[in-house]
Structure 1
Amino acid sequence: MGELSALETTRAADQIIHDIGAKWMLDKATWAHGKKHGFDNPFAHYFAGRCGVLGDVEADVVIAALGWFAPELVRPMWDEGVAVAGAREAARRYALACADWGREHVPDDPRLCELAEQVVRAAEGSGLPLFSGWRAEPLPEGGPARLTHVLHLLREWRGGLHLVATTAVGLDPLEAVLAANPPERARFLGWQGDLPNCDAHKPRRAEAEEITDRLSATVYERALSPSERAEFADLVGRAGTAVLG
């Protein structure tokens, strides 16, 4: 199997984990699951479901935890979503959607789940409210549902680290988005009106990415041995091929 450094592991695995999470959250089957459980608006389902682990908080808290979404999008979607059944129940129903999607789309890989859970347990939650909130939720008993949930945890972990990093280098949310993406990405995240040219911020955005990689690697270093890191990256790659094509 060989060995991998912690930094090699984060660069091999983290993007795939991100993309698997995006796949299930944006899938029409997830939207249909939300509608079946009382959420007529898939975006209200998304914001209340993903952020319901924060509890009964004001929308400004959710905006701060998410980071890159426009407040004008988050605020009405959060309020609409939590009005369905409350924040914690929204999170519970979102976890069910994650589990059901995983059973249909994610391979059953107990070893990947075991290694991923080692990483989750080793991660420091300070400054990472969404990750910490999801980590406090109960895990499915096993199989693809559990693995999908754990991969979601790792995605929230990396996302939280990246928000810490972009903030640390002095980028506000919109600058962080536009320094690395075309304007269409900012529109997707709810930003309206005239968008600034953020090309001058590209070096700071690259610095934030490097900081995120280092923070992630620190956890891989203490959670997994070099051979386990190589195994983990290989299994994540296989899961990515199965799920993403």
Structure 2
Amino acid sequence: MGELSAMDTVRAADKIIHDVGAKWMLDKATWAHGKENGYDNPFAHYFAGRCGVLGDVDADVVYAALGWFAPGLVRPMWEEGVAVAGAREAARRYALACADWGRDNVPEDPRLCELGERVVAAAEASGLPLFAGWRAEPLPEDGPARLTHVLHLLRELRGGLHLVATTAAGLSPLEAVLAANPPERAQFLGWQGDFPECGHLKPQREEAEETTDRLSAAVYERALSPAERAEFADLVGKTGTAVLG
């Protein structure tokens, strides 16, 4: 199988991990799972479920941990979601939704799960509250559910590192969104009003991407040998093909 550098592992695996996570969180089956558990609004389910690991905090804390989303969207969705059963219970129910979706959609792969868990364990969680919160949650016992949870952890790791990197590059969340996306993306994330022109910030956005890749690569470097990184990237690719098509 050969060997792979840590940076090449980032380039081979991280986008697939992101897309698998996005697929389960946006799947109608996940929304239906939320409705069965008391969350009539799928977005309230998303905010309370994903961020419930932060505990009983104000919406401003959730906004700070998430990045990207407008505070005017975060507050009503968070407050509606936690009103159902509290923050920690929302996280527990969201983890169950993740596990059920994994059982239905993700092929069992004990080796990928093992390697992924080693990456998760090797990560330094300072400045990454969502990742730290999810890492503290119990892992499911059965294979597909456990692997899906691990992939979610890896996604939260990359997302947290990216928020750190965009902040270090001097970008606000809205600027980071607009520097790389059309205004419609900002609107989807809850931002309203007249948007500033952020094309001149593209170099800073590219700098943030490079920093994110470097921080992510450092985790792979600590966690896996070059041969294991090649194996990990290959297995992530196979899982991505099975889940994403």
Q: TM-score higher than 0.5 here?
A: yes
The offset of 1:26, in angstroms, is: 0.3
> Which residue matches 1:224?
224
C-alpha displacement of 1:235: 0.3
Q: Cα deviations across residues 2-24 of structure 1 (Å, max 9, x unaligned)?
A: 10000000111000000000000
Report the equivalent of 1:163.
163
Aligned to 2:152: 152
User: Superposed, which structure 2 residues align to 1:31-110 within 5 Å?
Assistant: 31-110=31-110
| Aligned counterparts of 1:160 and 1:32: Cα–Cα separation in 2 | 27
Structure 1 position 183, deviation (Å): 1.1
Structure 1 CA distance, aligned partners of 2:59 and 2:47?
10
Return the TM-score normalized by structure 2. Answer: 0.99
Whole-Å separation in 1 of the counterparts to 2:183 and 2:147: 34
**Quick one: distance in 1 between partners of 2:34 and 2:108?**
24
Q: Which residue of 2 aligns with 1:6?
A: 6
1:120 aligns with 2:120: yes
How far is 1:142 from its partner? Answer: 2.5
Q: Deviations over 1:87-120 (max 9, x none)?
A: 0000000000000000000010000000000000
- Percent identity over the alignment is 85
- Alignment-derived partner of residue 238 in structure 2: 238
1:191 to 2:191 alignment: yes
Count of matched residue positions in the alignment of Structure 1 and Structure 2: 245
* SS of the residue 1:120 aligns to: helix
* Residues in 1 aligned to 2:3 and 2:214: alpha-carbon distance in whole angstroms: 18
Residue 182 of structure 2: aligned partner? 182
**Letter of the aligned partner of 1:46 in structure 2?**
Y
In structure 2, distance between residues paired with 1:222 and 1:164:
20
The amino acid across from 1:107 in the alignment is P
Q: Distance in 2 between matches of 1:142 and 1:2?
A: 30
SS at match of 1:69: coil
TM-score with structure 1 setting the length: 0.99
Aligned CA RMSD, in angstroms, stands at: 0.4
Rounded Cα–Cα distance in structure 2 between residues aligned with 1:19 and 1:194: 30
Distance, in Å, in 1 between the alignment partners of 2:96 and 2:208 is 33
Q: How far did residue 195 of structure 1 move?
A: 1.1
Segment of structure 1 superposing worse, 180-189 or 215-224: 180-189
Q: Which residue number in structure 2 is paired with residue 136 of structure 1?
A: 136
1:15 aligned residue: 15
Match of 1:211 in 2: 211
Distance in 1 separating the partners of 2:220 and 2:240: 19
In structure 2, distance between residues paired with 1:97 and 1:197? 39
Measure how far apart 1:125 and its partner are. Answer: 0.3
Instruction: Measure, in 1, the Cα distance between the counterparts of 2:19 and 2:92.
Output: 22
* Aligned-pair CA distance for 1:197: 1.2
Kindly state the Cα deviation for residue 193 of structure 1 after the two structures are TM-superposed. Answer: 1.0
